[in-house]
Structure 1
Amino acid sequence: MSSPCDPANASAGDVGAALMVVDSRLKALYDGTGVPDPRQQELLNQYAASLGPQGIEALVDGACTLIYMFMCWLRAAYEDHEKDPIEEVVPSVVATMRMMPKTFRPEVIPTMAGLLVAAGTGLSPNLWRAQYGRWTAAEMNPLEATAVLLADHINRITGDDHEFATRLISNALSQAERDEDEDMVEGDVRADE
């Protein structure tokens, strides 16, 4: 039986823009300053300012898609070692959230943990969240930070390769684009016959 939270029913959103934001935050984290590059931050701010309500919604959906993709990768990686991905990821990420009270107010931590569990069990994080109403402004920074924490978790377990998680998604997006182009060519060939 299909779930209303099945990822096939979810909008992928603007994954590229969400990945750009996560990558910027990771670089700031790894350079030791914790502060994003001013030029890149200015570009991100300009981009965010240019988005209308639909663009913001697409960016939120894109962040949820990143969380889903990261958790799928982590699930496969941990299950290969006969470990439970929920048990391995969620407590660690939640503990980090609790150490960041300016980003993660106590009342948003259960929602972010729920997103991780939903994604870790194969559900769409954005559809899971939609069951409880609209996103709140207080959840926007925690959503972004949750995606960053997952990317950092992946980077750490892959031998501190600071770009592994970003490459993982970039490669998946490139492959999806190639597959889409091939499908279009095949469709054109069938239409010509």
Structure 2
Amino acid sequence: MSSPCDPQHAPAGDVGAALMVIDSRLKALYDGEAETDPEQQRLSDQFTASLGPNEVDDLLDGTCTLIYMFMRWLRMAYEDHDRDVIEYVLPGFVASMRMMPKSVRPEVIPTMAGLVVAAGTGLSPNLWRKQYGDWTGSEMNPLEATAVLLAEHINRLTDDRDFATRVIAEALSSSSQDP
């Protein structure tokens, strides 16, 4: 029986734009920038301001698609070692979010953990979240942080700072070449 949260029913959104945002955040993280570079922040603000309502929804859906793809990769990697992805990803993920009180309010951590669990069990994070109503403004930074933390986890596992974004970019490239 198919779930209403099955990924086949979910819009993919603008995965390319979401990947660009996540890659930018990862580069800032790896460059040791605690705060975003003012020029980078200006460009990010300009990009965000240029988005209409449908484009914002596409970016949200794209970010959720990234979360799903990252968790799918992690699930396969952990299953290859007879480990449960939720057991090995969720505790560190929640601990990391708790250390970011300026960006991630404590009350949204359970929602972000739910997104990770949904994706880790093969459900669409955006359809899972949609059950509970519209996205809130207080969930935007934590949603971005969720994707960044998962990508960074993959990069640490592979000992390659660009692996997570590269694997998604390659998947996007190969899917755009399919007839």
Band the TM-score falls in, shorter-chain normalisation: over 0.9
Compute the displacement of 1:39 (Å): 3.7
Kindly tell me the number of residue pairs found equivalent between the two proteins.
Answer: 179
What is the aligned partner in structure 2 of residue 132 from structure 1? Answer: 132
* Residue 32, structure 1, aligned to residue 35, structure 2: no
Counterpart-to-counterpart distance in 2, 1:38 and 1:168: 29
What is the aligned partner in structure 2 of residue 186 from structure 1? Answer: none
* Residue 178, structure 1, aligned to residue 177, structure 2: yes
Counterpart-to-counterpart distance in 1, 2:130 and 2:20: 24
Question: Mapping of 1:1-193 within 5 angstroms?
Answer: 1-159=1-159, 161-179=160-178, 182=179
Counterpart-to-counterpart distance in 2, 1:33 and 1:96: 17
> What CA RMSD, in Å, does the superposition of the two structures yield over aligned residues?
1.0
What is the aligned partner in structure 2 of residue 188 from structure 1? Answer: none
Matched letter for residue 27 of structure 2: K
Compute the displacement of 1:35 (Å): 3.1
Counterpart-to-counterpart distance in 2, 1:153 and 1:102: 21
Matched letter for residue 28 of structure 1: A
Compute the displacement of 1:42 (Å): 2.8
> Greater relative contact order (Cα 8 A, min sep 6): structure 1 or 2?
2
Compute the displacement of 1:163 (Å): 0.6
Percent identical pairs in the alignment equals 72
Compute the displacement of 1:132 (Å): 0.5
The question of whether the paired residues in 2 share the 8 Å contact of 1:25 and 1:148 is answered with yes
User: How does the TM-score come out when normalised to structure 1?
Assistant: 0.90
User: How does the TM-score come out when normalised to structure 2?
Assistant: 0.97
Compute the displacement of 1:106 (Å): 1.1
Counterpart-to-counterpart distance in 2, 1:150 and 1:61: 16
The question of whether the paired residues in 2 share the 8 Å contact of 1:67 and 1:147 is answered with yes
Where do 5+ consecutive residues of structure 2 fail to align? Answer: none
Counterpart-to-counterpart distance in 2, 1:30 and 1:72: 24
Matched letter for residue 148 of structure 1: V
Counterpart-to-counterpart distance in 1, 2:116 and 2:35: 26
Compute the displacement of 1:103 (Å): 1.4
Counterpart-to-counterpart distance in 2, 1:37 and 1:27: 11
Counterpart-to-counterpart distance in 1, 2:18 and 2:62: 5
Matched letter for residue 175 of structure 1: S
